[in-house]
Amino acid sequence: MNGLPLRNVRVADFSWAAAGPYSTLLLASLGAEVIKVTSSSARGGFPRARAADVDRYLNYNKLSITLDLSTPEGAGLARELIKVCDLVVENYRPGTMKRFGLDYQELTRVKPDIVMVSSSSLGAEGPQSRYTGFAPIFATMGGLSHITGYPDGIPTELRLMVDYTVGHATAYAALVALYHQRATGQGQYIDLASRDVITCLMGEHILEAQLNGPNPNPRMGNRDHIMAPHGVYRCKGEDAWITIAIATQEEWEGLCQAMERLDWLADERFADSYRRWLHQDELEQLINAWTVNYTPFELMRLLQEKGVAAVPSYSARDLFEDPHLKDRRFSEEVTDPSGEKYTVITAPWLLDGRRPEARRHAPYPGEDNRMVFEGLLGLPSAEVDRLIEAGVIR
């Protein structure tokens, strides 16, 4: 491929918080020109304490303009922008875009083949569509919290990764619709419910609940229905852990060799995978007694050499110190116009062996006003001055 795949795609990005901006970050990393529209009149963003922090990791590779969408001129300029875009992404509370005169019906008047994605907590319409949601709620109401936790414990709260998962689904739906638009000339509107994204990722549980009845043991911790040993074991060091999963007789033998417990190969309790599953509590104790003497990375090397699936439970520090991830260049340093440098984690795929770059810093709000309004939309400089004076561009 000759360049990034979405290099001829332009996105008008009205999103805020985490899920929406992450979806447009994926698009930007794939080459799209993403123009972030921040409206001074729409409440949004994380509480101040986190805003600056999170913003830089979510909004690199994008451009930024500021508009007061609550003014007719501001909304008019947004429509002018959308006229030259392929895709609109927004995640305001349902009804907000309509209030601005920027709902799908209105937008098809300026660009008939526009693709518009509206992402919300529970859907654009319906009895609870105006309810406020955030990542942990998508997980609790989607059913994931209930099935996450220790077998003898309680449901678990899940957080940021839920937002980023929703962001992936948003990017997927947008690109599918864009593909259709490119192939046929037909745009469309997409109504995405964040909570529903989560339920799709545990479909087999939905089928089971219906066809087999409620599961009396919904939470499994790190355990598996078939494999044993299968868990997370304590290692040497502070809060250090290794994950080990054994599926085959060979892998079991590899573990026994690594642990220098060849006597286990003749032990009735562990003779086959069924028996190992029955005795997994004992095995867990025995393995823990061994793993505490090693660091997780020592164990990974030692066990992988014997063909055993063993991988540390990585902490953030582990990620940034890991030689494999360094080799894979999973992160990149970005330089802000102020000269400040910060590290971002780049896109999750290699395309033809190359990691999509962090080609630009996270923009300051309105940093690209001139470039977009004058350069892209062709407004005279004096007009842009006037709009800034009037508070339409702010």
> Catalytic site residues?
163
| Closest distance of CB 77 from another protein, Å | 26
Residue closest to 346 by CA, chosen among 335, 363, 334: 334
Binding flag, residue 277, another protein (CB under 8 A): no
| Residue 41 or 374 with smaller CB distance to another protein | 41
Query: In one letter, which amino acid is 140?
Result: T
Binding flag, residue 46, another protein (CB under 8 A): yes
Q: Which of 57, 106, 271, 302 binds another protein (CB under 8 A)?
A: 57
Q: Are strands 241-245 and 230-234 parallel, antiparallel or unpaired?
A: antiparallel
What strand order describes the sheet that includes 241-245? 230-234, 241-245, 309-312
Query: In one letter, which amino acid is 296?
Result: P
The rounded Cα 321 to chain-centroid distance in angstroms is 22
Binding flag, residue 282, another protein (CB under 8 A): no
Kindly state the DSSP code that residue 347 receives in the 8-state scheme: -
| Closest distance of CB 388 from another protein, Å | 29
Binding flag, residue 154, another protein (CB under 8 A): yes
Q: Which of 63, 82, 193, 255 binds another protein (CB under 8 A)?
A: 193
Residue closest to 115 by CA, chosen among 168, 177, 31, 171: 177
Residue 176, token pair as written in the block: 């599918």
Per CB under 8 A, contacts with another protein among 289-348 are: 300, 304, 307-320, 323-325, 327-328, 330-331, 342-345, 347-348
Residue 173, token pair as written in the block: 């739906």
Q: Which of 72, 176, 292, 383 binds another protein (CB under 8 A)?
A: 176
Q: Which of 122, 258, 259, 299 binds another protein (CB under 8 A)?
A: 122
* 380 φ, ψ (degrees, to nearest 5): -65, 150
| Residue 8 or 293 with smaller CB distance to another protein | 8
Query: In one letter, which amino acid is 104?
Result: Y
| Closest distance of CB 68 from another protein, Å | 22
Residue 3, token pair as written in the block: 């360049």
Kindly state the DSSP code that residue 354 receives in the 8-state scheme: B
Kindly state the DSSP code that residue 356 receives in the 8-state scheme: P
The position carrying tokens 């508070």 is 391
Cα separation, 32 vs 27, whole angstroms = 6
| Residue 196 or 374 with smaller CB distance to another protein | 196
Binding flag, residue 47, another protein (CB under 8 A): yes
Query: In one letter, which amino acid is 267?
Result: D
| Residue 40 or 108 with smaller CB distance to another protein | 108
| Closest distance of CB 392 from another protein, Å | 27
| Residue 67 or 178 with smaller CB distance to another protein | 178
| Residue 160 or 289 with smaller CB distance to another protein | 160
Binding flag, residue 161, another protein (CB under 8 A): yes
Per CB under 8 A, contacts with another protein among 9-38 are: 9, 18, 26, 30-31
| Closest distance of CB 143 from another protein, Å | 4
Binding flag, residue 173, another protein (CB under 8 A): yes
Binding flag, residue 249, another protein (CB under 8 A): no
Residues 6+ apart with CB under 8 A from 370: 381, 384
Cα separation, 384 vs 392, whole angstroms = 9
| Residue 134 or 277 with smaller CB distance to another protein | 134
Residue positions counted in the chain: 394
Q: Which residues pair with 13 in a beta bridge?
A: 36, 89
